[in-house]
Amino acid sequence: MDNEKRRRKRGIFIRLTKSRAKELIKKREEKKGRKLSREEKNIIIERVAKVARNRTIAVALALGVLGGGVAIGHGLITDGSDTKEPAITTDDNSSSKEESSFIDGIKVDVPEDEKSPIEEEIDRLDTSDEVLKYLKNLYIDEYQEITGIDLMTPGSIKIISNRQNYIYNLDNGKNVTHGDDPALTEQALEQDGQNYVKEPNVDVYRVERKSTGKIIDAMTSDGRAVIPGELYYELKNQESALENMSSIVQTSFDLIGYFDELEHKPGNEYITNLCEEAKQELVKLVTEREEEKQEQSNLKSQEQDEER
């Protein structure tokens, strides 16, 4: 009887996990407006499996999550009815090696020559303008997730870099530019009870609305969020989308610089290699950021499910 109860409970959990993975894949496809690649689906499957595994429940993602066969252990689960439930270990002392093997078994193999959509898109970037447009699209998605505000198109914003004579390092760990009028910025900081020291000669990336010239986000070149001095009270508590994707921003601007150099030295092998290396790094960073966002979304959904 105990074995029968365990079997039923495991069957219920498998169905719930399958449903959860399908739901997340569907939501992601709707948001992106396209079908996900196998690699992208595997990212989602891995996150769902890890969450379940962390709760000491062994999970089998079953029956057609990917519209085809999903390998689990030594067997293969397909959309057909002729299936065999794999042997699963639920021992709390299961090793990390077993967990890794379990998750790898769920994932679907991708041919080595098949590139992910992220790789394909970045491979097509051939000019500094194309890189900047790509970066703007990434930023628009990130900014909307944080603020709920849709910036619409890459043409509606500017992402630029400039040198600040100095910025203010506040005692609370935040940073502020001197703004259009340093005296007014310092007055605002004093009124807000903030002590500060000045950090000289700092390069800053900032995002502006093209229609108004208003700054909506800023970050130092080494990846620290920085509040525009003239908008201190408005933006002092806003999360920085630039900071969240700081490595992507930095690598994108490196690539922009290499493409600009290549325009003046066409065919230069050294600069061409720098471009390719930057592209590879950008693929890695964008993929990692997508995985991180997916994991955050999964955890948030799990928390909401638990609250219901």
pLDDT along the chain (308 residues), means of 10: 53 59 77 72 73 47 43 35 38 49 50 77 95 95 90 89 94 93 95 95 94 94 94 93 95 96 93 95 93 82 72
Residue 251: which of 216, 220, 225, 286 has the closest Cα?
A: 286
Do 95 and 145 lie in a common domain? no
User: Which pLDDT belongs to residue 74?
Assistant: 34
Do 101 and 119 lie in a common domain? no
Q: Which DSSP letter does residue 164 get?
A: E
Do 197 and 289 lie in a common domain? yes
Do 173 and 304 lie in a common domain? yes
pTM: 0.63
Q: Which domain covers residue 63, as residue numbers?
A: 2-114
User: Which pLDDT belongs to residue 298?
Assistant: 80
Give the chain's end-to-end CA distance (angstroms, integer). Answer: 31
User: Which pLDDT belongs to residue 4?
Assistant: 56
Q: Where does a domain end: 94, 114, 134?
A: 114
Number of domains in the chain: 2
Q: Where does a domain end: 114, 136, 169?
A: 114
Do 126 and 103 lie in a common domain? no
Q: Is 45 left (phi over 0), alpha (psi -120 to 50) or beta?
A: alpha
Do 43 and 70 lie in a common domain? yes
Do 55 and 141 lie in a common domain? no
User: Which pLDDT belongs to residue 308?
Assistant: 67
Do 49 and 183 lie in a common domain? no
User: Which pLDDT belongs to residue 88?
Assistant: 36
What is the enclosing helix (H) or strand (E) of 155?
none
Do 104 and 122 lie in a common domain? no
Q: What six digits make up the tokens of 177?
A: 């530019």
